[in-house]
Amino acid sequence: MSKDGLRINHLFFADNALLFVKNQRSEVEAFIRILDNFTKMLGQSINLEKSMVYFSPNTSVPQHAAFGGLLKMKVVDKLDSYLSLPIPIAKKRPRIFQNILDRIASRINSWLKRLL
């Protein structure tokens, strides 16, 4: 990557990825080329039926349709969770992550019951 080149932020988890791209046509087209190269070089395919695109509130509605069509992905209005983690993460983190803490506590309790 170069200083003035395309900047893509990402989060990878096993076979899932959360990618961030600027809402400019040139950036979206460059992103598509990167995905195409990824599939050609690694022999991996991207399931576009399971893929989705979410736009930030500062993206215009016409851009939603244009970029969604370019990406050939379903456009969604909001993201609730990704890999059981809430999106977006608000300032009230303890409440947001309570579900995860409850699941961990439940699992630990079930292990303890088996040991006794």
Top-confidence residue, 77 or 88: 77
Q: What is the mean pLDDT of residues 90-96?
A: 65
pLDDT at 86: 63
The pTM score is 0.57
**Is 77 a residue whose pLDDT tops 50?**
yes
Which whole-number Å values give the CA distances from 34 to 4, 77, 101, in the listed order? 17, 25, 37
What would the pLDDT profile of 6-35 be if each residue is shown by its tens digit? 555 545 555 677 777 888 889 889 989 988
The Cα–Cα gap between 70 and 22 comes to 14
What would the pLDDT profile of 95-109 be if each residue is shown by its tens digit? 767 878 888 999 999
